[in-house]
Each structure stands twice: as C-alpha cells, then as structure tokens.
Amino acid sequence: LRQALLFRDAVDVTGIALTKLDGTAKGGIALAIAQELGVPVKLIGIGEGLEDLRPFDPDDFARALLEV
C-alpha cells in the first residue's frame, strides 16, 4: 500500500488495473489501494497479454469472489 501511495505522489493516478488474479488474494490489495487512493478499478486482467485486459465490472467481480 505504501508503494502505491508513493506512486500516486509521483504521477497522476486515475485508476487501477487488477491483474494476476490467479493468486490467493483474489485482488483484495488492489481494492484496498483503490479505496485508499480514491480511484476506481478500471481494468481487469483475465490472462497474461495486453489483449486480455477487460473493463472492470464490480458485479461480475463480486460474483466470482463468492464462487467456491
């Protein structure tokens, strides 16, 4: 989180890209960073390439978090 705050102070951050969702955290830190910085999550990565970035849909994300 501290690193994100330093980055925000250096550049004009307007949004978060949520990537690497195959980990166990399921993007929780990115959501905490978005809240702390006051910027929205704009993109979600569903693969490893640039073409795998999609617009973030909070409803879809919440449903995916609740799936077992």
The span from the CA of 51 to the CA of 63, in Å, is 23
* Domain residue limits, the chain: 2-66
Instruction: Check residue 23 and give its pLDDT.
Output: 57
pTM equals: 0.73
The span from the CA of 25 to the CA of 60, in Å, is 17
The runs of H, that is alpha helices, within 1-68 are 2-10, 28-37, 58-66
Give the model confidence (pLDDT) of 6-26 as tens digits: 888 899 889 888 887 765 566
Residue whose pair of structure tokens reads 């925000």 in the numeric block: 8
